[in-house]
Amino acid sequence: MTLNTKALIAIIAVNFVTISGFGFLFPIFAVYGKAIEANATEIALSIASFSLGNLIANPIWGKASDQFGRKRLLVISLAAGAVITALNVLAVTPWALIFARFIAGLAAGSFSIAFAVAADISTPENRTRVMGTVGAGFSLGFIMGPAIGGFVAGGDPGPEAFTRVCYAGAALMLIGAVITQIFLPETRPEDDSSADTENAPQQVSRWAVLRDPVLGIIILLSLVSSIAMAKMEATFAIFADDVLSLSPFGIGLYFAAMGGIGVIGQAGAAGFLSRKIGERGMLFVSLAFLSLGMFTLATSQERVQAFIGMCTIAIGFSMITPAMSGLTSLSAPPRAQGVSLGLVQSSGSLGRVIGPAFAGIIYDMAGPPAPFYVGSAILLICLIAMGVWMRVVPPLAKPT
């Protein structure tokens, strides 16, 4: 096994562990929030605060990994995340929980470092495949985290389930730290003082990327779709408790079904669809599935229809991530790959801050189905805009 292969396997595992930790608490938030007298707005804010902390810390962790090495910073991030996750059991008021999740987000530095590792071990010829593989681990963890958390919480609705989930999440992150220490080689390139910096091409600025007619649209779609998805993930546990009378274990099973569909979509269907209809076609179809799934979930009053809605959302989610990654890689020039992928990732993090924050307020003001109706409407507008964009902007020619 080559060093690059070892690094890729290790970073996929680390990505899965870290993003699973983000969603680990979703199934138990509704039950625990009620136990500490939190309303839907405060529960959603506790979810958004993690993404806010991560949005702030991502550039700092990434820059530090450039200076001190990828492996060392990953181990530190995972170990710190384990300690902070375990200490979440001390959050016994709504605002203490919000603050605890914000600190956990600050410690979650592996998101930015993982893509830096992917860039280190890839070449221009295989960068799309490597980034897509790393992104698949990210997406799988984002869906499977709540499923694992629901399994650990079990059918017991008591607040003690929150303690079990926190300790299990901490143990998972410690396992990730051990995997990193043992299996991940250092991938940061050594400084080359003899390089010809005078004639090196200038890096493309962030503003230039945002003004690009293709990349700018991808970044905007990443933001909006993340807002809609985060609305669902932030309030589904509350909705399931209030409307469907599901236990944390039952909520976890719903997310497990989503995870299974996500694995199939990421591993097989995405590649087939990209060859048949292209990345832009995939993006269009994924938005249609996401909007339809949100509407189905919003109108559900019983468990079967809600399950169908969640599975429809999972189909769309499994396509949208590889479609965006592929479009970004094809659209960005070689010297703008890093900044373009970074902006897409940052826009997704921003969406996971905005979505839960407003979802809780909408839930409290307009009722349980309201966040899903709003999410469906937003995605439908994106779908229409995507159709217009596909007619105006010619498709990209794939490199041969």
pLDDT in tens, 110-153: 766 777 787 778 775 666 567 667 766 776 776 678 778 888 88
More confident residue, 16 or 178: 178
DSSP SS3 for 91: coil
The runs of H, that is alpha helices, within 332-368 are 337-366
Range of the domain at 78: 3-187+205-392
| pLDDT, average across residues 232-243 | 85
pLDDT of amino acid 399: 47
Task: Give percent of the chain above pLDDT 90.
Answer: 14
Give the dihedral sign, CA 376/377/379/384: positive
The per-residue pLDDT for range 331-357, each reduced to its tens digit, is 776 556 556 766 777 788 788 888 887
The per-residue pLDDT for range 350-362, each reduced to its tens digit, is 888 888 878 888 9
Can you tell me the distance from the alpha carbon of 73 to that of 66, in angstroms, rounded to the nearest whole number? 10
pLDDT > 60? residue 195: no
pLDDT of amino acid 160: 80
Q: 106 in a domain, yes or no?
A: yes
Q: 250 in a domain, yes or no?
A: yes
pLDDT of amino acid 158: 62
pLDDT of amino acid 193: 41
* Domain CATH for 36: 1.20.1250.20
pLDDT > 70? residue 190: no
Average pLDDT, the chain: 79
> In the structure, what pLDDT confidence band is assigned to residue 371 with cuts at 50, 70 and 90?
very high
Can you tell me the distance from the alpha carbon of 60 to that of 290, in angstroms, rounded to the nearest whole number? 33
Q: 288 in a domain, yes or no?
A: yes
pLDDT > 90? residue 186: no
Q: 400 in a domain, yes or no?
A: no
> In the structure, what pLDDT confidence band is assigned to residue 196 with cuts at 50, 70 and 90?
very low
The per-residue pLDDT for range 263-309, each reduced to its tens digit, is 677 666 666 777 788 778 888 999 999 999 999 999 999 999 999 99
Can you tell me the distance from the alpha carbon of 20 to that of 138, in angstroms, rounded to the nearest whole number? 8
| pLDDT, average across residues 227-254 | 84
Question: What's the per-residue H, E or C state across 8-34?
Answer: HHHHHHHHHHHHHHHHCCHHHHHHHHH
List C-alpha distances in Å: 396 to 52, 376, 399. 34, 29, 9
Flag the least confident range among 103-117, 132-146, 155-169, 312-326: 132-146
| pLDDT, average across residues 247-275 | 75
Q: 179 in a domain, yes or no?
A: yes
Q: 176 in a domain, yes or no?
A: yes
32: exposed, middle or buried (Cβ count in 10 Å: 0-12, 13-18, 19+): buried
Counted domains in the chain: 1
Structure tokens at 209: 């990327």
Flag the least confident range among 24-33, 72-81, 93-102: 24-33
- Do the Cβ atoms of 255 and 146 come closer than 8 Å? yes
Q: 145 in a domain, yes or no?
A: yes
Q: 195 in a domain, yes or no?
A: no
